[in-house]
Structure 1
Amino acid sequence: MKGILLVNLGSPDSPEPKDVKKYLGEFLMDERVIDIPFLARTALVKGIILKTRPKQSAAAYKKIWWDEGSPLIVLSERLQNKIQKQVEEPVALAMRYGSMTIKKGLQELVDKGVKEVLLFPLYPQFAMATTETILVLAEDIRKVHFPDLKIESVPAFYNKPDYIEVLSNAIENHLKGIDYEHLLFSYHGVPERHIRKSDVTKSHCKIDGSCCTTASKAHEFCYRHQCYEVTRLVAEKLKFKEGTYSTSFQSRLGFDPWLLPYTDRTIERLGKQGVKNMAIVTPAFVSDCLETLEEIAMEGQEIFHEMGGKDFTTVPCLNDDDEFVNLLSKWISEWAKATVKVS
């Protein structure tokens, strides 16, 4: 019997500081999120960040928290439920961080008699701190708790034509009738060293402005390339004019070099340049969350208005969009009918 485990990032159990602190501790202590030696990471996270950040983050979570709970969790559950109605195989949901663990998700499927699992990280692009950490943890859990379970994972789908069509349609439909001068594609930021560490060639990724457009095996695991490729493919699909759209990266942490340009600085620059009406889309996220609902929709809008901008439109993530549900259900059904190749 086959089953599917959808995996998203995660969320604290509540917007209270104690729950946010617990969540941030697990998230930031992941060696693929803050990839420095354990002792240094412990000193940074537990000695500095967790002494101040939980209270600040809790205040941000309270701004976007829904009556039903965390927006990311609620939206992920809606996606799961809609997919379950379209496929015969059991569909479970788990989070990389927080109380909805991958172990619980796998156990739910095993209890239903599942022997083969399609692990589906809900990230269009590959990154150390997203897809890779999910795959590594899932395999560790399988070895210890479910040694007879077969797991196959869904690779990054950022450039699949049917995904680009669904994303493009969602953007076009949301912006229909809105008079905007510039569309900003904002992706979650990562340290530049993550890009180099993920380079399977060990020589291609120089982040010099040309490596992402030069064909290479490195692109299979290059987050930066995959982000720029999504922008390019959507712009091509929707026939955007050069200069009316751009790419940026948000949510940097610490003082190490992170991917440029930064989203907040880009919004500021567009406002200073006289752009009065802009729109922003966040294609690194499948579900709306703290980073899209607070950092972009609230903080980004505030920056834009301070710089003289007028209308700031945020395009929702795909969430449980029917076309997106249909697409994921189609991929799952195709996998279910095929012979499983274990990863």
Structure 2
Amino acid sequence: MEIALAPMEGLVDDILRELLTEVGGLDWCVSEFIRVCDRLLPAAAFAKLAPELGQGARTPSGTPMRVQLLGSDPACLADNAAFACTLGAPVIDLNFGCPAKTVNKSRGGAVLLKEPELLNRIVESVRQAVPAHIPVTAKMRLGYDSPNSALACAEALAEGGATQLVVHARTKVEGYRPPAHWEWVARVADRVSVPVLANGEIWTLDDYWRCRSVSGQASVMLGRGLVSRPDLALQIAAAVRGEETAVQSWAEILPRVQRFWVMAQRKLAPRYAPGRLKQWLGMLTRSYPEAAALFAQVRRESDCALIDRLLGMAGQNPGNLDLDQERRLQLV
């Protein structure tokens, strides 16, 4: 049984991977996708999106990180996968699940689910290019606009040499709209001989048990559910072991949000850092009323110094921040 952190472009970067994996419960995580077009990428391109390669391909808490590639050219993907292995990638993951229009227009992600034979050639080329001890895995959706091709796509990936599949239980056209069709994950798992992880609409421990019952899979990949509830993997792992674990309170989550803000400012230009904070805070509002109160205070702010003070005040008086008073203090 495995619990993994999903790769999410523009959201789960190395900062959030560090903070979420240190909470516990995760067996591995995946980098944001590294887009491969028509050339061999430089080492800097891998270091930018997968800096953990410089740390033994592990997050600071020791969670293994896989390198994910996205593209449609089998030979070019193979060359870049081989290069990633020389940089320390312990596993090569291939993205056939991204539903973004801009990605699909350039023949990347879920649009390739229209072409099972191409999926097979990509995986086979990558498998042949990387050392035998390096696993090649893949993440897919149920299809482009219908799940009717799900089984053919899964078979193509497994026959090409993928040793594990993550199945996001929706089509590309469905995007992230509920529900997730977990029953199709069960059909995929019945069709292929490689391990399958279920993915999609797992927001709570109860969701996990329902997904497990319908999909037949104990192993899962958590995406937005874990971002909005950082201790979800910990809860699931404990429950599977038959143990109880206390749900983490906002008082335990807030210090991680404050650290995230500090780290984001170090990594990003001042005009971009506030947006990253708001992005995560906005998702945390699903699970924590206190996050909603803090988000309401910072959502229209772009001044990093003011946001610093608001985050500091949140720890002292959560949910009751006086923004007008804080602005007056800033002007003193």
TM over 0.5: no
Which TM-score applies when normalising by structure 1?
A: 0.29
Q: TM-score, normalised by structure 2?
A: 0.29
